[in-house]
Amino acid sequence: MKILVPVKRVIDYNVKPRVKSDGSGVDLANVKMSINPFDEIAVEEAIRIKEAGKATEIVVVSIGPAKAQDVLRSALAMGADRAILVETDADLEPLAVAKILKAIALEVAPDLVILGKQAIDDDSNQTGQMLAALLARPQGTFASKVDIDGGHVVVTREVDGGLETIRLTLPAIVTTDLRLNEPRYASLPNIMKAKKKPLEVRALADCGVDATPRLKVLRVTEPPVRAGGVKVADVDALVAILKEVGVA
Ligand code: AMP
């Protein structure tokens, strides 16, 4: 069984994003970039399935600039077997990404594709669902548990107010939620070994996909600045203020 894991290079989750002065987007100049956290969870899950003897190969794929090779090397250091970079400097929308992933999936022929539930830069939460539709495959989104059971995958999903368990026939698409697992750190020997694992770079034009944007970003704004707090002397003063602002 083969597993395909798409990983996106995004602004590191510890970095506070700054909006460009013209409001056209987030300023990425000199900002630390890392593997999307949900994709790291997806790589970890694929490795655990392989370690359990239920998968034979893990292929990771990223669509992005040449520097996205870094996130692919990180995934290889964790334990993926080979990587594909579809190189482009364009900022692609989820539909274009899903179409490219479809082309890669038709070539790699994975039994399972595990994506993150969302990329933390654009928070779209669309690619996995679109890929499932384009490939006409069953999907289990927001997975907090994944079990391979013969020709099926049993996915426990985090839904409002509880958990839902579904059984999908392979080949299938799964997207990861935060509680699925805790990704491992790559050891130094594995980081060194990852440098020798195959990483194929190809041009976006070779995928034969129309990646023309269909959406126009009108503006990006920072969240409103929070007003400062007030320190009160005692409970009576607190109650008086709460009454004053009309919440008590
Ligand atoms: P999104 O729909 O943009 O929130 O992304 C959901 C998931 O799709 C991510 O967690 C990745 O697994 C995958 N994905 C999105 N964009 C890319 C990309 N440029 N390269 C590889 N995988 C991607």
Residues 6 or more apart whose Cβ sits within 8 Å of residue 243: none
pTM: 0.92
Listed in sequence order, the residues at least 6 apart from 148 whose beta carbon sits closer than 8 Å to its beta carbon are 1, 49, 52, 54, 55, 112, 170
92: nearest Cα among 218, 215, 205: 215
Atom of ligand 1 nearest to the CA of 116: 10
Which band of pLDDT confidence, cut at 50, 70 and 90, is reported for residue 155?
Answer: very high
Q: Cα(110) to centroid of ligand 1, in Å?
A: 17
Most confident of 25-34, 182-191, 228-237: 182-191
CA 170, 48, 32, 225 torsion-angle sign: positive
Nearest to 11 by CA among 41, 42, 37: 37
Mean pLDDT to the nearest integer, 206-235: 89
The predicted pLDDT at position 224 comes to 86
Q: Is the CB of 97 under 6 A from ligand 1?
A: yes
Best residue among 3, 5, 8 to mutate for probing ligand 1, ranked by most atoms within 8 Å of CB: 8
Distance, in Å, from the CA atom of 128 to the CA atom of 116, rounded to the nearest integer, reads 8
**Residue 122 CB less than 6 A away from ligand 1:** yes
Give me the amino acid identity at 199: L
CA 163-114-47 angle, to 5 degrees, is: 100
d(CA 56, CA 44): 15
- Look over the chain and give the mean of its residue pLDDT values, rounded to a whole number: 95
Q: 36 CB under 6 A from ligand 1?
A: yes
Q: What is the pLDDT of residue 118?
A: 97
Please say if the pLDDT value at position 32 is more than 90: yes
Establish whether residue 204 lines the binding site of ligand 1, counting it when its CB lies within 6 angstroms of any ligand atom. no
Task: Report whether residue 127 contacts ligand 1, using a CB cutoff of 6 Å.
Answer: yes
The whole-number pLDDT of residue 218 equals 92
Q: pLDDT, tens digit, for every residue of 86-107?
A: 999 999 999 999 999 999 999 9
- pLDDT at residue 245 tops 90: no
Dist CA 138 CA 101 (whole Å)? 16
Q: Rounded to an integer, what distance in angstroms lies between the CA atom of residue 160 and that of residue 153? A: 22
Q: Is 7 in the pocket of ligand 1 (CB under 6 A)?
A: yes
Digit-coded pLDDT (tens) for 38-95: 999 999 999 999 999 999 999 999 999 999 999 999 999 999 999 999 999 999 999 9
Kindly state the DSSP code that residue 229 receives in the 8-state scheme: P
Going by pLDDT thresholds of 50, 70 and 90, the confidence category of residue 128 is very high
Q: Is 37 in the pocket of ligand 1 (CB under 6 A)?
A: no
Q: What confidence category does residue 247 fall into, taking pLDDT thresholds of 50, 70 and 90?
A: confident
Query: Ligand 1 centre from 63 Cα, in Å?
Result: 9
In the predicted model, is pLDDT for residue 161 greater than 90? no
Tell me the pLDDT tens digit for each residue of 175-211.
999 999 999 999 999 999 999 999 999 999 998 999 9
Which amino acid belongs to residue 21?
Answer: S
Instruction: Answer yes or no: is pLDDT of 159 > 80.
Output: yes
- Using DSSP's 3-state secondary structure scheme, residue 231 falls into coil
Structure confidence at residue 226 (pLDDT): 86
